[in-house]
Amino acid sequence: MNLEQLGSFVEVASLGNFTRAADKLHLAQPSLSRQISALELDLGAELFHRARSGSTLTTAGEALLPLARRMLADAASVRHELAELAGLGRGRVRLGATPTLCISLVAEVLSAFHAAHPAIELHLSEQGSRLLLDELAAGELDLALITTSDAAAAERFTVTPLLVEELVVISSIASPPVTPRATIALDEVAALPQIVFSSTYDLRRTTDAAFRAAGLTPDVVLEGAEMDALLRFVERGLGVAIVPAMVLIDRPGLRSVRLGGPALTRTISLARPADVAPTAAVEVMQHTIAATATAFAARAGTSMRRASIVR
């Protein structure tokens, strides 16, 4: 059974006449008859009552007709979608992301995108949010995953919030829990030995501001770590750290506890130039990012949620 046979069957069923159906399909009548006969042989049932006055559907033909129409409609839909994606036969997507996103969300995004569109050339820039916005403005990037609410960004870029994510306190699974409770207060965290990010990290500025607002001075045992190194140091029991909930996915050597009181959060957003129309490849990358972000939110549970203002 193939689509050409199904198309011929639907035309004969609609017109009730092999001759008129053959004319409409631009086929010789014997060729059309052979197609229908082959279909009947394949299905093991006659589909038409043939008579000089015309052809009518048998019970089997009546059962097949709606299924055949649906299959043809699905095939047409597939052709349409593939035609729209024809521009993805080649091309390029330049994506920027912060370091914390590169080891979590972006790894999943690029894996899914490359598997579906291996011919597309991918470029990745790993920077802080402010530098990513500068690269976006300079035309060096097509898209940027940022974690800052820069007021100037709304004027120059189209910024779409994706996720609101809590910051959590992490410690080594090999060490005793930092608290027996479900949450930990910020003053308790300040008293624990901490590993903190480089001052260039947006996260460092967020946590520093929270401690400063509470009149607290954290006990820092190591300063200036990058994300991957920080997670390894915590796994080894060197100290605790405050990190986005997302980075805990697939990290069995770490445990986390939520902060009590007002939660520290960050909003992950996707930015692109407001005055540049996205290419087909960039549009598909945007859809891939949105779908992956939704999946991450589901995996991270209560510590992460889709932004209510996602468009």
Tens of pLDDT along 80-91?
555 555 666 677
Q: What pLDDT shows up at residue 292?
A: 87
- Judged against a pLDDT cut of 80, whether residue 107 lies above it is answered with yes
**Structure letter (DSSP) for residue 277:** P
pLDDT in tens, 207-256: 999 999 999 999 999 998 888 899 999 999 999 999 988 888 778 999 99
pLDDT in tens, 7-38: 999 999 999 999 999 999 999 999 999 999 99
- Judged against a pLDDT cut of 80, whether residue 299 lies above it is answered with no
User: Which class would CATH give 3-85?
Assistant: mainly alpha
Between CA 103 and CA 100 the distance in angstroms is 6
Among residues 263, 257, 109, the alpha carbon closest in space to that of 192 is found at: 257
Between CA 306 and CA 263 the distance in angstroms is 16
Q: What pLDDT shows up at residue 307?
A: 53
What average pLDDT is seen over the chain?
86
| Overall fold of domain 90-311 | D-Maltodextrin-Binding Protein; domain 2 (3.40.190)
How many C-alpha atoms does 75 have within 13 Å on its Cβ side? 11
Percent of the chain with pLDDT over 90: 53
Range(s) for CATH 3.40.190.290 in the chain?
90-311
Between CA 170 and CA 210 the distance in angstroms is 17
Q: What pLDDT shows up at residue 198?
A: 85
Q: What pLDDT shows up at residue 155?
A: 67
Residue 230: strand, helix, or coil: helix
- Judged against a pLDDT cut of 70, whether residue 311 lies above it is answered with no
pLDDT in tens, 247-273: 887 789 999 999 987 788 888 999 998
- Judged against a pLDDT cut of 80, whether residue 65 lies above it is answered with yes
Range(s) for CATH 1.10.10.10 in the chain?
3-85
User: Helices (H), strands (E): how many in the chain?
Assistant: 12, 13
